Structure 1
Amino acid sequence: MLLSRGFKSIVTTWLAGLLALLPLTLTLALVTWIVSLLNRFAGPSTTVGQLFAALGYPFVESPGLAYLLGTLILIVAIYPLGLAVQLGLKGPLSKLLKLTVERIPLLGKLYGLTDRFVGLLDQKENADIAAMSPVWCFFGGDGVAVLALLPNPEPVVINGRRYLAVLVPTAPIPVGGGLLYMPVEWIKPAQMGMDTFTSIYVSMGITPPPYPPADSRPTERVD
C-alpha cells in the first residue's frame, strides 16, 4: 500500500512538471514547424533560396554564407519599402504592381488572389476584405461547426436551393483555404470582428471564439 502511494505521488509530481513544461513545449513545436515550413519554401536548396544566395555571391564564395548574406540583404532592402508604405506611397506602389504583374497571364491572376487574402491582415486599406463577415458553418445543419468568412451575403440558386459562398481559411496562416458553397440555413452569423477571427486561426484554436458554450445559436439567417 505504501509502495503504491509512493508510486502515485511520483507520477503526480512528474505530471505536474510535464504540465508546467507543456506551454513551452508547444511554443517550441510551433516555432519548429514554422522554421521547417520556411525552409521548405525558401531554404538554401530551394529555388527561392538560390536567388537569396545569388545576392550574396558577389561578396562571399561559401554557398551557406552567401545564402545568409543574401537573406540579410533582402531583409534590409524591405525596410525602405516599409518606410515608403508608411509615408503614404502604398497606393502608387500597388497601382504600379497592378499595371505590371497583373497583366502577365496566370501570374497576374495568382497575384490578385494572394493580394486579396493578404488584405485580411490589413482591414483599413482593403474595404472589400473588411466587408467580409465571420460566420459559423454547421455541416448538415447541426453537425460540425466551422469558422469561415462570408464574402457576399447574396445567395446563389443551385438546383433550386439557395447557397452562400464561404471562405474557409487554414491555420495557423489564414491566407489560404477553400471556397465552399453551403446551404443558407447551414450558416449563422459569428459574433466577432476580423481581429478576433484572425487571432483564432493564428493561434490554431488556442484562442477560444466568443461564442456561448451552450447550444444557443442565433436564429436569424444570413440572407
Structure 2
Amino acid sequence: MIRQSFRSLVTTWLTGLLALLPLVLTLALLAWIVNLLNKLVGPATVIGQLLAALGQPFASSPYLAYFVGTLVLLGSLYPLGLAVQLGLRRPLAWLLDMTLRRAPLIGNFYNIADRFVGLLDKSKNADITAMSPVWCFFGGEGAAVLALQPSSEPIELDGRPYFAVLVPTAPIPVGGGLIYVPVEWVRPADMGVDGLTSIYLSMGLTPPHQAGKAAKEPAVLTDDGKAS
C-alpha cells in the first residue's frame, strides 16, 4: 500500500516536471543566447566599444552610448538591404571576393559563414522551391518514396518515358540520389516543399498529411458507370 502511494506520488511529480521542462529549457536556451551575445558584442568587447563609439556623439554615458550605437547599426541595415535589392548585390559580392575571400585565413572563415547564411536565405534556394514533391511507387505498386521532381517534362530512355526524381538525404540544402523512374510510377504529393522538408527533418515523425489521398489514383468511370 505504501509502495503504491509512493509510486503514485513519484509519477505525479514526474508528470509535473515533464510539463514544466519545455519552459525551463526554453528559458535556459534564451539565457545562454543572451550570455553568448554579451560575450561577443557586449559593452566590454571590441565590437561593443565600436558601437559605443558610434553612439558617443549622442550620449555621454558609456552604456547609453552603446545602446544608441546599437540602434544606429540596426538602422543602417535597412538602407544596406535596400541597396542590395536595387541591384548592388553583385558589386558588393565582387568587393568581398577581392578582399575577404582572398585573405588566407579570413577567407576560409568567411566562406563557411557565407554558406551557413545561404542556408537561411530562401531567395538563394528559389530553385529548390520550384521543385514538385511527388510519390514514387517502385514497381508501380511497391514501396512509396517521397521525392522531389525537378521537371515535369519526361525524357525517353529505350523508347519509354521517364521522370527525373531526387530522393533527399539532406533536406537543407537538398541533396540525395537522382533516379529516373517510369512516368506511371510517379504521382503528385499533396504538399509543398516545406512540408516535404519538415517530414525529412523529423525523420518521419511528422506524418505526410493527406498523403493517402494524394497517393490514390483518380477513379476512371467506364461506359457502364463503374469505377475502374
TM-score (structure 1 length as normaliser)? 0.52
Q: Match for 1:208 among 194, 202, 213?
A: 202
Query: 1:25 maps to which residue?
Result: 24
Pair 1:106–1:9, CA change in 2 (3 A): closer
Are 2:68 and 1:86 equivalent residues in the alignment? no
User: Which one has more relative contact order, counting CA pairs under 8 Å at least 6 apart?
Assistant: 1
Pair 1:196–1:110, CA change in 2 (3 A): closer
Are 2:171 and 1:193 equivalent residues in the alignment? yes
Aligned residues: CA RMSD: 3.2
- C-alpha deviation, 1:196, in angstroms: 7.8
Q: Is the 8 A contact 1:53 1:69 kept in 2?
A: yes
- C-alpha deviation, 1:78, in angstroms: 0.9
- C-alpha deviation, 1:107, in angstroms: 3.8
Structure 1: how far apart are the matches of 2:169 and 2:96?
Answer: 36
Measured against aligned partners, the alpha-carbon deviations of 1:30-50 in whole angstroms (never above 9, x if no partner) come to 112211211111111111111
Q: Is the 8 A contact 1:44 1:64 kept in 2?
A: yes
Provide the aligned length of Structure 1 versus Structure 2.
141
Are 2:23 and 1:45 equivalent residues in the alignment? no
| Identical positions, percent | 56
Query: 1:73 maps to which residue?
Result: 72
Measured against aligned partners, the alpha-carbon deviations of 1:171-218 in whole angstroms (never above 9, x if no partner) come to xxxxxxxxxxxxxxxxxx962321589xxxxxxxxx63359xxxxxxx
Are 2:94 and 1:95 equivalent residues in the alignment? yes
- C-alpha deviation, 1:99, in angstroms: 3.1
- C-alpha deviation, 1:97, in angstroms: 2.6
Q: Which has the larger radius of gyration?
A: 2
Q: Which runs of 5+ in 1 are unaligned?
A: 128-188, 198-206, 212-223
Q: Which runs of 5+ in 2 are unaligned?
A: 127-166, 176-200, 206-228
